[in-house]
Amino acid sequence: MKNVAIDIQARTEAGKGVARKLRHAGQTPGVLYGPKAETISLSVNTHEFNKLLSSAGGEPLLLTLNLKSNGDSSSHTALIKNLQLHPVDDKIRHIDFYEVLMDEEVQVDVPITAAGKAKGVETDMGVLEIIQRTVKISCLPLAIPRNIQINVSDLELGDVVHVSDITDQEGIRLMDDPETTLMTIVASRAEEEEKEEETEGEVEEKEESE
């Protein structure tokens, strides 16, 4: 978990017209909210925020938001809850910040990654199929991992990995249904087509012999 700071500016006006003006001025509109905080409309420098995301390299960010409002200033610890992207150019159009307390758990979705080369892929020409790419966890803000790795080395053709198979996650509680399927080893398309051809050949041979 990477901890960084960025300045934000409170705003009182809202609406599409206001958001459009902010973007033209190099600002991105957003909100800050949380279970124990009132919702604050804000804006953040677009260039600085994009630079911050780029430097993170995909690592989860714990942000210290330095809020300025009518000459006053305050500091808030938050996570990025949601980024609204433009449907064409993927530029960030709106940011949701979620305020957290360092001594209270927060629920977040984190990516899962496969570690190792599955036996079913190496020896049986199978394919590792990812069914669900994230899992929901609950933990203290500083304990949020970049991802959760799942060792797939022993997986054979037909094997399935469920949420319940994730182990050794100290300080982290898994919130998804334990029976949720995350990944599986399936036969490759080429392998399936070859089996279909063999089956069809066997049927034709049987018909000819009758």
Evaluate the CA torsion angle 49, 97, 85, 135 in order and state its sign: positive
Residue 181 covered by a domain: yes
The domain of 137 spans 107-193
Residue 191 pLDDT more than 70?
no
Residue 187 covered by a domain: yes
Residues 122, 186 share a domain: yes
**Number of domains into which the chain is organized:** 2
**Average pLDDT of the segment spanning 201-206:** 54
Residue 11 pLDDT more than 70?
yes
Residue 57 pLDDT grade (very low, low, confident, very high; cuts 50, 70, 90): confident
Residue 39 covered by a domain: yes
Six-digit token string for 50: 């994009």
Residue 67 pLDDT more than 70?
yes
Last residue of a domain, one of 52, 84, 100: 100
Measured between alpha carbons, how far is 106 from 96 in angstroms, rounded to an integer?
15
Residues 43, 82 share a domain: yes
Residues 165, 122 share a domain: yes
Residues 119, 82 share a domain: no
Pair 61, 52: CB distance under 8 Å: yes
Residue 202 covered by a domain: no
Burial zone of 201 (CB within 10 Å; 0-12 exposed, 13-18 middle, 19+ buried): exposed
Nearest of 40, 49, 52, 43 to residue 76 by alpha carbon: 40
Residues 93, 120 share a domain: no
Q: What is the pLDDT of residues 69-115, one digit of tens each?
A: 888 899 999 999 999 999 999 999 999 999 999 999 999 999 999 99
Residue 207 covered by a domain: no
- One-letter identity of residue 114: A
Residue 203 pLDDT more than 60?
no
Last residue of a domain, one of 83, 100, 117: 100
Residues 124, 89 share a domain: no
Measured between alpha carbons, how far is 64 from 43 in angstroms, rounded to an integer?
15
Residues 33, 111 share a domain: no
Residue 196 pLDDT grade (very low, low, confident, very high; cuts 50, 70, 90): low
Residues 127, 79 share a domain: no
Q: What is the pLDDT of residues 113-162, one digit of tens each?
A: 999 999 999 999 899 999 999 999 999 999 999 999 999 999 999 999 99
Give the per-residue pLDDT at 68.
93
Q: What is the pLDDT of residues 15-50, one digit of tens each?
A: 889 999 999 999 999 999 998 778 999 999 999 999
